Structure 1
């Protein structure tokens, strides 16, 4: 009742210089309570059906591939159990969840015009590029794969393995 009074008050309706939201329309337009609950339920179900953010699927798009349900579960399991070290686990969580502020993300948030890789290679600074594709990051990954080979661990040279822990 109080919400209805607030939304229909002349001071409130004249002060806003925007279109009313669906919630404001529901509360303000209904003089009687008849049909109010179904409308509220309909709006609440709309909120529930929105797409959820799935960072592993975004990684798959960046890598131009499809990850199976098992691959996604493996990445999530690896993210939680990759190391006993809290610092290493934090880095893995941030990488898997795409938490890092890359140049491409920073340009969307600020007035900066530089979306180039933070390593200085002059390429577009996307998350996949900065962590894997960058020619200045490649020596690190090549060294890691050489070390794995010395340990007689043969793995395909794949960003899904290095960044997400998705093994074949």
Structure 2
């Protein structure tokens, strides 16, 4: 499931190592069917996914969203390349052949999709396999709420927030939440987590900026301590050579070689918005609750902090981080948001938010 219908480039890069499986297939297939060699980021993401899906009961019996063409008991009997019509119609997930009461009849596919006569033999093969799974009690006709959202062909605005809320609804804090709380010596309610996460997602119209915030929340970055847990021969010390333990909070906030950078970032926020914020990793990294200020000022601070984090990620192993580059990155964010706001007829709101930054940078505003 992708955030946009346009296929992101990173998916093609990741799937080069898995020529016979898509990233979607890797999520839903049996763990033992995955390739033994994957990129470090994809491998770690799947480790987190496996833990989460089992602990939170995200996947129902029989893995209904897995591809039927990756099921060995079915593929061994047929030539999967001959099922192009079914794949093009999105009928490759096992669950698409079931209702709550059992396998769907052929009339369902005739009425809904105009099943051509030439595909009736293929349907018989698919139906027989579905019936064998049902008779063996190997699959449930019910999807979990999470699976139901992922099974939607049409990606709707707000889906990520809905999925995140459904995950948090079981009153169980997710692993990344607990890890942040340990490092920040904090104990947030689930409602606080949801509010901060929602604020980060809803604050942007550009999808790449949403992605940057999600990566921080879910601790996606491979810091030295995480790399050392994956590869024991790798050092767990900070790669800026400060001899500190390379934890997430150290690399992003506590390392003495970047403390000056964050001092400058908060000073810029004060000069641009007039808000003298307390220097806190909760604000800098997780878009934590700000004092009682206007909505547009809060939004501008969110943009500035996001630009600061993107800049720090770009200078990942450097001992110094360019504040000039950070200003250019925030301006780049402004330009991206301007394009989208123009298309959505939100130019007035755009100027209201960005006016202080335009004045600070000495940039004339051109609608």
TM-score class, shorter: 0.5 to 0.7
Tell me the alpha carbon deviations over residues 4-30 of structure 1, each in whole angstroms, 9 at most, x when there is no partner: xxxxxxxxxxxxxxxxxxxxxxxxxxx
2:267 alignment partner, one of 137, 140, 146: 146
Offset of residue 133 of structure 1: 0.6
Is 1:122 aligned to 2:250, yes or no?
no
Offset of residue 76 of structure 1: 1.4
2:199 alignment partner, one of 75, 78, 85: 78
SS at match of 1:83: coil
Offset of residue 54 of structure 1: 3.8
Q: Is residue 104–residue 116 contact of structure 1 (8 Å, CA) maintained in 2? A: yes
Q: Report the CA distance shift for 1:82/1:138 in structure 2 as closer, same or farther (over 3 A).
A: farther
Is 1:64 aligned to 2:209, yes or no?
no
Q: How many residues align?
A: 120
Q: Work out which structure has the larger RCO, using CA pairs closer than 8 Å and 6 or more positions apart in sequence.
A: 1
1:163 alignment partner, one of 285, 298, 301: 285
| Structure 2: segments with no counterpart, 5+ residues | 1-136, 138-169, 291-367
Offset of residue 95 of structure 1: 0.8
| CA RMSD in angstroms, aligned pairs only | 2.2
Paired position in structure 1 for 2:256: 135
Tell me the alpha carbon deviations over residues 79-105 of structure 1, each in whole angstroms, 9 at most, x when there is no partner: 323433333322211111011111111
Paired position in structure 2 for 1:98: 219
| Structure 1: segments with no counterpart, 5+ residues | 1-36, 38-48
Q: Is residue 173–residue 190 contact of structure 2 (8 Å, CA) maintained in 1? A: no
Tell me the alpha carbon deviations over residues 11-65 of structure 1, each in whole angstroms, 9 at most, x when there is no partner: xxxxxxxxxxxxxxxxxxxxxxxxxx9xxxxxxxxxxx9x663422321121112
Per the normalisation by structure 2, the TM-score is: 0.30
Q: CA separation in 2, counterparts of 1:160 and 1:82?
A: 17
Q: CA separation in 2, counterparts of 1:88 and 1:127?
A: 20
